[in-house]
Amino acid sequence: MTPVPEPSPPPISGGTRETEADDFRRAVLQQVEALTADNQRLLQSVVRSERRFRTLAKSVWHVQEEERRRLARELHDGIGQTLTALANQVQRILDDARGAGNLGLEHRLGDALDLTRSALHDTRELSRLLRPTLLDDLGLDAALNWLARTLSERTGLDIELQSALDERRLHPDVETLVFRITQEALTNVIRHACAQSARIVLALKTSALVLRIEDDGSGFDTALLTAAERSGTSSGVRGMRDRAELFGGSIELRSAPGRGTVVQLTLVLDASDASPPING
């Protein structure tokens, strides 16, 4: 801060009053100008810090997604391949046992084969949930379709997808953001809502993307959520908000006991968000 000399008030008597009053006004004006300049500098420094913080937070987010990608690949190509080979092996032994007419052994090998296939299925599903290759290869519509189908099969919740994207690709960061928010919101529906059905609606307005995840479940008092977010006990919704804000977006949550829940993400798209990078 620039130190500003305090203007001294005009003396009660002596000298020409007008000149003294002019001097006083000038001094006050100078002080106001100096304060305004200081404020401007402070504001610019806050804006710069905010920009630096966003860049840093986005880098952390990228590293996290990259780590998930790596783990997903390792699960799929490592343990996944080994389990596939194991299943084939057990299948061959089972075929041999069938030829030998040993019913007891056949039974046990059949069980072992079922277990191996189930472990393979779980490993592939976990790998896709960590980071579906579909998202990178085919984009949001395909990945959301897969997510809805998988969660539906696993939990019995009826999940409908309405997307205006028409398989259009967006910037990879935006695709990842929308996918993660949908994943988190649907996890909440499954965990807390006791819902019959849920709907994912993805709409494109003039220059904004609007994502809504609606459910017909128990709903809840959002005032309690605000308190939980403040005390740090709600990490899911807080995380959704933080991620949305990184991209200049916002999350709105509408709910009431017995009235279901709507989670809405609104994201203004600039020209680079609305399409994949030229070389990507």
Ligand X SMILES: Nc1ncnc2c1ncn2[C@@H]1O[C@H](COP(=O)(O)OP(=O)(O)O)[C@@H](O)[C@H]1O
Closest CA to 270 of 211, 209, 210, 201: 209
Place of tokens 């059905």: 197
Using the rule CB under 6 A, is 199 a contact of ligand X? Answer: no
**Cβ proximity to ligand X, 10 vs 236, nearer residue:** 236
Smallest gap, in angstroms, from Cβ of residue 66 to ligand X?
24
Using the rule CB under 5 A, is 239 a contact of Mg ion? Answer: no
Find the binding residues for Mg ion in span 57-96 (CB under 5 A).
none
Interaction mask 185-214, Mg ion, x per CB under 5 A: ---x--------------------------
From CA 197, how far away is CA 157, in angstroms rounded?
6
Asked whether 244 and 251 are in contact (CB, 8 A), the reply is: yes
And the tokens for 9?
């008030």
Interaction mask 214-253, ligand X, x per CB under 6 A: -x-xxxx----x--x-----xxxx----------------
From CA 184, how far away is CA 218, in angstroms rounded?
17
192 binds, among Mg ion, ligand X, none (CB under 5 to 8 A by kind): ligand X
Give just the sign of the alpha carbon dihedral 75, 81, 84, 85. negative
Report how many residues bind Mg ion under the rule CB under 5 A.
2
Using the rule CB under 6 A, is 94 a contact of ligand X? Answer: no
Which range of residues in 59-67, 82-90, 210-218, 271-279 is near ligand X by CB under 6 A?
Answer: 210-218
Q: For residue 223, count other CB atoms closer than 10 A to its CB.
A: 8
Using the rule CB under 6 A, is 192 a contact of ligand X? Answer: yes
And the tokens for 121?
């299925």
Find the binding residues for ligand X in span 158-177 (CB under 6 A).
none
Closest CA to 165 of 81, 273, 253, 79: 273
Report how many residues bind ligand X under the rule CB under 6 A.
17
Closest CA to 199 of 157, 253, 245: 157
Name the residues that contact ligand X, by CB under 6 A. 188-189, 191-193, 215, 217-220, 225, 228, 234-237, 261
